[in-house]
Structure 1
Amino acid sequence: MDFTGIFRQIIISAPAILIAIVFHELAHGWVAYKLGDSTAKLSGRLTLNPLSHIDPFGTIIMPLMLIILTSGQWVFGYAKPVPVNPYNFKNPRAGMALCAAGGPAANLLVAIVSTVLLKWILLPFMGVIPDFIFNPTVLILKSTILINIVLAAFNLIPIPPLDGGRILMGILPLRYSEFMERIEPYGSLIVILLIVTGLTKIFVLPLVKFFYSILSLF
């Protein structure tokens, strides 16, 4: 096992993972706050401080395990869910759908900003900026782009409690929304089964390619 390579991947991926999950969760809380729900704000979650969003297993242990087990080829993580009370919204169903969409939208925005920084600000100074600063920064920005794109795509899988499932619950006719609400307690198991069988790729990979096509505009 290449421990040097794994350690290098951890150094590169850690900032990218933190950026992705912090902005993802912050966006959920910010959208909720703008729609009239102060639960996230009162819970101290409308902040860029990673300590407020870190989940010990999902943010630290699981990404480290994935880096080690896959030799740095696959990295993923999650944060503590932001508390939202839909009954504070004028339209609870629409409000929850908008809150859910906020997370992936924030990740896509972070990926766009990282692309602009990489392509238009950093790369033009290749050879001017010292390599010991330039090379790690390029790798971190590339990792930030990839992780944010994958996180956005994965969360849009249309199964609750993922964001895609919550978006569908907000826009589908009530009877279908109620059906999805009934399967939500089993949603995590369904998602794990899809990951184990590799079926998540059917949905995630096309979205990742689509998001990269958006980034190509920048």
Structure 2
Amino acid sequence: MGNYTGPKVKLSRALGVPVAETPKHVSPKKTNRPGAHGYRRQKPTLYGVQLKEKQKIAYYYNVKNNQLRRYMKLAESSKDASDKVFQTLLETRLDNVVRRLRWARTIWQARQMVSHAHFRLNGRRVDIPSVRVKPGDVIEVKERSKKFVQQAAEEAGSLGLSVPEWIASDTGNMKASITRLPEFDEVRLPFDVDFSKIIEFYTL
């Protein structure tokens, strides 16, 4: 499910929602489902609805099914609402934070940048996209990587998206700090998602 390497726009066409904020996904030239025969309209089953909601989140955050299952177990074991904890676990992944900082245009680019060790987390080299950040953490671009990341950030800036309030960004020094955890209602996704269906998918 995660680490998808095929044509990314096909994911948006298959699900009927943009799984990235770039123009190719938000306003695709083709809107029909990929394949020789396109999409045959039929009433979706309950499982089909649950699966689609799960796939939307999996592709948007580029997370494998076993990782999603682990996040769901952590969310269910929490005293807080499962949907809120589940979303927080996804939002605070390092690759997603790089995307939220607009240092990358897509989650796939952000994942590659983290994997290639372009960043430091609290002064230490990091190359694991799934590392979760917490309040007080500081993320910075390595000196040798600043030119490369700056170019990527300029491209990401063309999307017109702002850095969320739970991240304090120092654009000039290419550093950022996590001031708090994101609130459930402030997370902006390019599609609507029913987290209750995802919970049902993994628990029923």
TM-score, structure 1 length as denominator? 0.27
Q: Bigger radius of gyration, 1 or 2?
A: 1
TM-score, structure 2 length as denominator? 0.29
Structure that is richer in helix per residue: 1
